Chain A
Amino acid sequence: MDQSKEKFAQLQELIDSHKNQPGALMPVLQGAQGIFGCVSEDVQKAIAEGLGITLSEVYGVATFYAQFSLHPKGKYLISVCLGTACYVKGSQRVLDKLAEVLEIPVGGTTADGKFTLEATRCLGACGLAPVMMINGEVYGRLTPDVIPGIIEKYKARD
């Protein structure tokens, strides 16, 4: 609870520093996502009230840009590259396998809040295609059959 209070205080500070600036919404949304990990309904309402704009406007911008997440993401964010090189090397099958193992759709988060699965554009590691990243850690030359083992490793962690 106190942690949430602290985060909202941080958000208020952010809003105050951008108030009455044209185009304030983008930096505030980005900052809010940094603070909370996502821009949930309560966060968006606070932004709307704080900047004196409508919730419709905040929500419209938040849903327009892929960088904003409306719901909390899992502890481990799995990003599978669907860029050209990875795709021709079979990254779609890797992604499908992950969805199967985690029992969530692409874009979804597991019920225990541990994993979020995302498809992403080129990660710049085409030499290792097909590639995925888990919280910044890169896994290359993947095949679907190595996926369960990798997931088990993370499940064993906190």
Chain B
Amino acid sequence: MEEKMINLTIDGVQVQVPDGSTVLEAARQAGIRIPTLCFLKDINKLGVCRMCIVNAGGRALQAACVLPATEGMKVQTNTPEIREYRKNILELTLSTHKKECLSCIRSQNCELQKLCLELGVEFGDKYEGVKNNYTIDDISPSIVRDNNKCILCRRCVSVCAKVQNVGVIGPVNRGFKTAIESPWGLKLNDMACINCGQCIVNCPVGALYEKDDTNEVWAALQDPDKYVVVQPAPAVRAALGEEFGYPMGTSVTGKMAAALKRLGFDKVFDTDWGADLTIMEEANELLERISNGGKLPMITSCSPGWIKFCETYYPDFLGNLSSCKSPHEMEGAMIKTYFAEKMNIDPHKIVVVSVMPCTAKKFEAKRPELGHDGMADVDIVITTRELARMIKKANIDFCALPEEDFDSMLGESTGAGVIFGATGGVMEAALRTAYETITGKKLDNVEFQQVRGVQGIKEATINIGGTDVSVAVASGTGNASTLLDSVRSGEKNYTFIEVMACPGGCVNGGGQPIVSSQVKMSTDIRAERAKALYEEDRAKAKRKSHDNAEIKTLYTEYLGKPGSHKAHELLHTHYQKREKYSD
């Protein structure tokens, strides 16, 4: 059936759009930019901020984001009257806003600030609004909420409820008392928040941000008694460059390694190594479950947001979760045992710092079961954004840095480890190793295109040595819910499932550089950043985890073989059911 098309004129430009489009979408297509604040493509379409008001000939100006395009419509988007209204709306928004713009974490990357500059708001105190003096909620190990800066756009609410199927925050009360909060005055940490940080990366202002742990890192670096080791996750290299002006999708692996060395870390290792190690253990676990009648489908366990989601909302699947620790936890455990023993360093003096695209990793690192002998596997987790701030604070000219390598012993990686940062990447990496382990034959085409791409749920059947293996990949915990519901009902049947908590996987994690909603309208950041990882994979000589020479050495010298007693002790973990409501 042919799609019905609508013809309309926007600012004198004729444009044809499919029936059902909004004026905002039509304007985009006509190359006309309408300012927005609460609008978030595919996620938040409420028309509450009124920034996108246009004149469509009606009695009043209307919000373009929720105004359907109709045949013959004539729209004006940028008259002096409209500009004045928009400016006035901003002035009213500012009347209740805590204007800490000099020191605000979002200064220069704030959608409200940008609009104020564009529309020529002269001073922020034109109107005196009600200041509610909210207490900053910083109890969560991952996320800080400052309602004094909140502009009530509800982007965080929509992402949390609709995309992640979590919904632990929402609007409460009304009028000037309206606030985005958890019910019953509870703190975020008292709720079944999964720490994913999708609220942060979708907040237009500084009302939501990560718990900053950089001071702890600076202190460790200054302490002569500490041996400070750092490891960045795969997805960090795909996005860190954005903080320094590189186009989205630029991989900055070499410069990142150089920057970490300049910051003074004693060793700069790579979580890609930990990812390769994870594959060795996880592929082995999968094969064991298949051959010994273990619980299937096995589900990946790398994403701590997903793990907490499963523990809270799908506890009947806990037995399906792989017992493998996540890559950086595995690497942390190896740094404090294998590496410490080999280098003759007291592991109690070692500080393991993980740089992650993720705010949930901050929570994960504090799990008491992830450690041994009173030591945590990982001591401090900072996000990609925090690393960027550290590099800037240290006055390192990132763009001028040479490309350097990671330190050896826990620094080598294969392409399989690199793609862990994108949805489908863990699955693909596991399939590469599982294939060669099962068949004993060389896998010629290592690229499993079926599990790539940004779709929320992907399914594939992979033939391995004559056996069809049915797999599924979900990203975003809302999609994970849909997938698990279909498994629970018996409608679907898989052998292996990969879940990442954030839509698109770690490249779009809650700790990644924040991209404005206007850019997200025309750019799919999940796909752009994933490209950087797939290109890096393609450029690698070794693309299968079991080909990693340092990992081979680790097994020969220390662990024995995947799934060995020692491997289980150090690299595997267990899960617990969590209550949805705390008492």
Contacts and interface: CB of A to CB of B under 8 A. Distances in A.
Interface of A: 41, 44-45, 53-60, 63-64
Contacts of B43: none
Interface in B157-176: 157, 161, 166-174
Interface string B105-122: 000000000000000000
B182 interface: yes
A56 B173 contact: no
Nearest to A44: B183
A60 B172 contact: yes
B123 interface: no
Main secondary structure on A side of the interface with B: helix
Contacts of B184: 41, 55, 59
B167 A63 contact: no
Q: Which 7 A-B pairs have the closest CB atoms?
A: A59-B183, A54-B167, A56-B170, A60-B170, A63-B172, A63-B173, A55-B183
A45 B170 contact: no
Contacts of A45: 581
A60 B173 CA distance: 7
Given A63-B174, A64-B173, A64-B174, A56 B581 contact: no
A57 B170 CA distance: 7
Nearest to A57: B170
Contacts of B161: 54, 56-57
Contacts of A57: 161, 167, 170
B168 A56 contact: yes
7 contacts: A54-B161, A55-B184, A56-B157, A56-B182, A57-B167, A59-B170, A60-B171
Nearest to A58: B183
Nearest to A41: B184
Nearest to B170: A56
Nearest to B157: A56
Contacts of A60: 170-172, 183
Contacts of B182: 56
A75 B470 CA distance: 63
Given A60-B170, A60-B183, 13 more contacts: A54-B170, A55-B581, A56-B157, A56-B167, A56-B170, A56-B182, A58-B183, A59-B172, A59-B183, A59-B184, A63-B173, A64-B171, A64-B174
A60 B157 CA distance: 11
Given A41-B184, A45-B581, A59-B183, A54 B172 contact: no
Nearest to A65: B174
Interface string B316-340: 0000000000000000000000000
A59 to B, nearest CB: 3
A158 to B, nearest CB: 32
